[in-house]
Amino acid sequence: MCGIVGYVGRSEAAPILLDGLRRLQYRGYDSAGIAILNSGHVETRKCAGRIAALSKLMTAKPASGTSGISHTRWATHGKPTDQNAHPHFDASGKLALVHNGVIENYQTLKDQLSHDGDRKYRSQTDTEVLAHLIGKLYDEAVAGVADPDQKKSALVSAVRNALQQVIGTYGIALVHSDIANFLIGARRGSPLVLGVGKEENFLASDVSAIVAYTRDAIYLNDFDVVAVERDKFEISSLAGESGDHQVSKVEFTAEDIKKGDYPHYMLKEIFEQPDSVRDAMRGRLSAEECTAKLGGLNMTPAQLRQVGRIVLTGCGTALHAAMVGEYIIEQLAHLPVEVEYASEFRHRNTPMTSDTLVFAITQSGETADTLGALRESRRKGYRTLGICNNVASTIARESDGGVYMHAGPEIGVAATKSFTSQVTILTLIGLLLGRMRHLSTSEGSDIIEALQALPGQIEQVLELSDEIKTIAEKYAQVSGMLFFGRQCNFPIALEGALKLKEITYLFAEGHPSAELKHGIIALVRPDLPSVFIAPDDAVFSKNLNNIEQVKARKGPIIALTSGAGAKQLNAIADDIITVPNAPDFVMPVLTAIPLQLLAYHLAVALGRDVDKPRNLAKSAPTVTTFARSEGFKSLPHLVV
């Protein structure tokens, strides 16, 4: 994915556009660019590399003006070079466009454009083709037109007409040097927010880019086109119909997205977990009824009672949270739960029973595969709920209901606090469904007590950070790490390995402990430590057995245990991390955090860029399989 920002107002646009891009770097950071409108021409600066490189370029060669657009890129079409950096221009060089998404039929559009003569493209991007198409339609419409208002509506029409020909996803912002102080934005499948200010307005992929300037936001819908000026804006559909749009108050402030005294967002977010887990439960536990209250599910008790099967879907870290959720919900509610990779689920014709309830789990609420899975599930008529962090994200809006995480902005690319919030919410779901089935009031009450103790226990785990740092530094020269766990802690092994891969670039794999003997043991060697997640639980002795097997083959052992487990591990583990004892269903939250810290400290020891690991972006785009008409019923002539 990429990040886009637009500004029109009375202040200098460049600092606002650059500041916005810095906040969107989690969306991609392999090149960046800016276009400023000034006295009838567009000034542009762009380069490969991060915002810092663009900022340097702007200092060396400033661009002045009170409106413009900017972009930070995560490359899809074309390498991350200066030429492929956005903005891209039309043939006249007067229209500049930034884009987040994938124009799937760009080659067809390019071929069609070539019918009226040779066109010179400066990049290998799909975006440049769209800029050419809009520019061509506009130029044809304004031949001989001098009136500025007519030019504005001609540009809006050109955008609409061009986008009607597009298959794929887009969040775009554009300016044209013919028309001062005028931006156009549009979206389909990629997020776009309109920030409403006083004598200034903004466009952004995410409100975090503009929250320092305004907390009034309109979350645009798919197929919206917005024309933005200093003191007004007009939102219409791709077909030209105007609709209702609500101004929402952004929940967080600019302060919330600052690093504060932390060296990295990731560390800040790890340390926010006592609060984020508390916020995931806030107002959702009823001590009186010994259950969870989740009104956002939009389901009556009778409907919840009818649920016979649950499918949990997501990508990356969210998928691992789903896997933990599978163990917890099955344990608490005795309901069959299946976990599906969203990327597979969306294209697979999974047989499901009519009483299946589907949950799409996602921090950003924008991950394309998770969105695809949600749409496929809804298309087939299943009730599909979201577990999202980003308020008003696409998945939050397209679900039949759901639960917000309220974890606050997560900026570090490696997901941390969103994971523990997701697991906490899945536990609440397990409690709610369990209490409607076989859990007694006293069992419900015990679960609530364990959940309420969790934030305090997380604080105790965070106190281990220095100890974990020492362990991480000791292993800084290893070739990789293996992670093992059983039951609820098997997904934690996967998540521990994912964190390590993402931010240290070391080889890492997670497995159920018992799988060791079925192949993985062949990897065991002195420079490949094994991290065993072995809390003092019913399967502790089985884990101990596996630890012995690795030790016997000279594999170093880092044991993550709880309570009395440490005593038994003393003689065989090289290093031991001990978290507080807790019931099985809350233990994954306590065991995940030391592994986040282990990956973090190891990455710092290796000098990695923790918050912006190479090749990654915070939630991933993909090529859609949607036809042009999908979701846009008012354009029947586009039905494919």
Measuring CA to CA, which residue among 391, 344, 390, 352 is closest to residue 370? 344
Q: Is 618 a catalytic residue?
A: yes
Measuring CA to CA, which residue among 194, 204, 172, 184 is closest to residue 5? 204
Q: Identify which range of 4-12, 158-166, 194-202, 412-420 contacts ligand BG6 by CB under 6 A.
A: 412-420
CB of 613 to ligand BG6, least distance (A): 8
Contact 561/429 with Cβ under 8 angstroms?
no
- Annotated catalytic residue: which of 110, 501, 612, 618? 618
Q: Identify which range of 182-190, 205-213, 308-316, 437-445 contacts ligand BG6 by CB under 6 A.
A: 308-316
- Compute how many residues bind ligand BG6; rule: CB under 6 A: 18
Q: Identify which range of 310-318, 348-356, 479-487, 586-594 contacts ligand BG6 by CB under 6 A.
A: 310-318
Instruction: Show the site string, 365-384: x = touches ligand BG6 by CB under 6 A, - = not.
Output: --x--x--------------
Tally helices (H) and strands (E) across the chain: 19, 26
Q: Which helix (H) or strand (E) holds 403?
A: strand 401-404
Rounded to whole angstroms, the Cα distance separating 462 from 273 reads: 9
Q: Identify which range of 169-177, 234-242, 407-415, 528-536 contacts ligand BG6 by CB under 6 A.
A: 407-415
169 binds ligand BG6, rule: CB under 6 A: no
Among 76, 363, 421, 543, binds ligand BG6 (CB under 6 A): 363
CB of 414 to ligand BG6, least distance (A): 6
In this structure, is the dihedral angle defined by the CA atoms of residues 287, 290, 292 and 295, taken in order, positive or negative? Answer: negative
Among 267, 315, 576, 590, binds ligand BG6 (CB under 6 A): 315
Backbone angles phi, psi at 629, to 5 degrees: -85, -15
Measuring CA to CA, which residue among 89, 88, 135 is closest to residue 116? 135
Cβ within 8 Å of residue 277, ≥6 positions away: 420, 421, 424, 454, 455, 458, 589
Residue closer to ligand BG6 by CB (options 63, 322) is: 322
Measured N-to-C along each axis, helices 465-474 and 587-605 cross at an angle, to the nearest 10 degrees, of 50
Residue type at 254 in one-letter notation = A
The neighbour count for residue 140, using CB atoms within 10 Å, is 12
Q: Which long-range contacts (CB under 8 A, 24 or more apart) does 546-551 make?
A: 546/484, 546/513, 546/514, 546/516, 547/572, 547/573, 548/572, 549/516, 549/517, 549/521, 550/516, 550/521, 550/524
Residue closer to ligand BG6 by CB (options 250, 415) is: 415
196 binds ligand BG6, rule: CB under 6 A: no
Q: Is 2 a catalytic residue?
A: yes
Residue type at 515 in one-letter notation = E
3-class SS shares of the chain: helix, strand, coil, % to 5: 40, 20, 40
Measuring CA to CA, which residue among 426, 311, 294 is closest to residue 359? 311
Residue closer to ligand BG6 by CB (options 427, 619) is: 619
Q: Which residue is nearest to ligand BG6 (CB)?
A: 316
Among 364, 377, 530, 622, binds ligand BG6 (CB under 6 A): 364
156 binds ligand BG6, rule: CB under 6 A: no
Tokens 């040097």 correspond to what residue? 177
DSSP-assigned states of every residue in 174-219: EEETTSTT-EEEEEEBS--EEEE-SS-EEEESSGGGTTTT-SEEEE
523 binds ligand BG6, rule: CB under 6 A: no
Among 155, 257, 318, 448, binds ligand BG6 (CB under 6 A): 318
358 binds ligand BG6, rule: CB under 6 A: no
Rounded to whole angstroms, the Cα distance separating 150 from 197 reads: 26
Residues 605-624 touching ligand BG6, rule: CB under 6 A, are 616-620
Residue closer to ligand BG6 by CB (options 329, 494) is: 494
Instruction: Show the site string, 414-443: x = touches ligand BG6 by CB under 6 A, - = not.
Output: xx----------------------------
Among 362, 416, 424, 622, binds ligand BG6 (CB under 6 A): 362
Residue closer to ligand BG6 by CB (options 572, 616) is: 616
Residues 58-77 touching ligand BG6, rule: CB under 6 A, are none
Q: Identify which range of 40-48, 143-151, 164-172, 315-323 contacts ligand BG6 by CB under 6 A.
A: 315-323
- Annotated catalytic residue: which of 2, 315, 388, 488? 2
In this structure, is the dihedral angle defined by the CA atoms of residues 86, 90, 96 and 97, taken in order, positive or negative? Answer: negative
Query: Using CB under 6 A as the criterion, which residues of the chain lie in contact with ligand BG6 when the complex forms?
Result: 314-318, 362-364, 367, 370, 413-415, 616-620
Residues classed as catalytic: 2, 618
